[in-house]
Amino acid sequence: MRRSFAKLRFSEDTKEQPLVVPHSEQPSQPPLEQHVDYQSESSVEESEEESEEESEEEVVEVFVEETSSEEDSKLSLFDECVYQVFQVQMFNNAFSITNVRFIADGDAHHIEISFDDWTERFMELTIDSETIYEVDTSLQIVGNTKLNIEDMVVYFEWDLIIKPMKFSFRTRGLPLGIRSDEYNWEDYEVLNLIEIEGIEW
């Protein structure tokens, strides 16, 4: 690209130089080097267009890299601040966890996930000695439900097939003026994630 512009300047300089015309002969042709350096306007325009296209491509690449870097930093912050994992041994057909917070700086809670007997057919979720949810796991061995805890939407999931069993609580933020019982809660940002691995024996 740069060589094309250099040739253009050289060609303009040569146009200003008068040609020497002998009295007895026809006007002499410009030197061969000068003739080669002449370029049409269309050729110069094509060179400029190619240069602009390359510049646009470079800008797009830089923008994508910056976006990826921002996403990585957000994920790193999420892992450090709101992610909790508990490994709990079953006792009396129940998993019991204390000092659980559904949001940073929130109240500490006592969670208990219990089953009616060793068949684990009925599951009960208790928070601070209050029964929050019950389910027949013979029909829903893997499932999820929406809870309202501290006026926040908490998404409770369980998987009793895999070993150890998996339970999770995802606290989602709600915009001001939005009730927690509305159906578009899945679109809200996850503020806190609790994962529980339940070991039976």
Condensed to tens digits (0 to 9), the pLDDT of residues 97-115 reads 999 999 888 899 999 999 9
pLDDT band at 201 (very low <50, low <70, confident <90, very high): confident
> Nearest to residue 164, comparing CAs of 75, 50, 87, 94?
87
Any domain includes 71? yes
For residue 185, the model assigns a pLDDT of: 52
Any domain includes 23? no
Distance, in Å, from the CA atom of 39 to the CA atom of 197, rounded to the nearest integer, reads 74
Any domain includes 148? yes
How many structural domains comprise the chain? Answer: 2
Residues 6+ apart with CB under 8 A from 122: 115, 116, 134, 135, 136, 137
Q: Please tell me whether residues 127 and 166 are part of one structural domain.
A: yes
For residue 48, the model assigns a pLDDT of: 59
Q: Please tell me whether residues 128 and 182 are part of one structural domain.
A: yes
Is residue 163 pLDDT above 70, yes or no? Answer: yes
Q: Please tell me whether residues 173 and 114 are part of one structural domain.
A: yes
Lowest mean pLDDT segment, chosen from 62-71, 108-117, 141-150, 183-192: 62-71
Instruction: Print the SS3 string covering 162-196.
Output: CCCEEEEEEEECCCCCCCCCCHHHHHCCEEEEEEE
φ, ψ of residue 66 in degrees (nearest 5):
-65, -40
Q: Please tell me whether residues 111 and 171 are part of one structural domain.
A: yes
Q: Please tell me whether residues 56 and 103 are part of one structural domain.
A: no
For residue 105, the model assigns a pLDDT of: 83
Any domain includes 21? no
Any domain includes 22? no
Is residue 1 pLDDT above 50, yes or no? Answer: no
> Nearest to residue 14, comparing CAs of 27, 31, 2?
31
Q: Please tell me whether residues 69 and 126 are part of one structural domain.
A: no
Q: Please tell me whether residues 7 and 98 are part of one structural domain.
A: no
Any domain includes 161? yes
Q: Please tell me whether residues 44 and 123 are part of one structural domain.
A: no
**Domain around 52:** 2-12+28-80
CATH number of the domain at 115, please. 2.40.128
Q: Please tell me whether residues 52 and 108 are part of one structural domain.
A: no
Any domain includes 165? yes
**Tokens linked to 65:** 């890299």
Any domain includes 20? no
Q: Please tell me whether residues 98 and 195 are part of one structural domain.
A: yes
Q: Please tell me whether residues 145 and 56 are part of one structural domain.
A: no
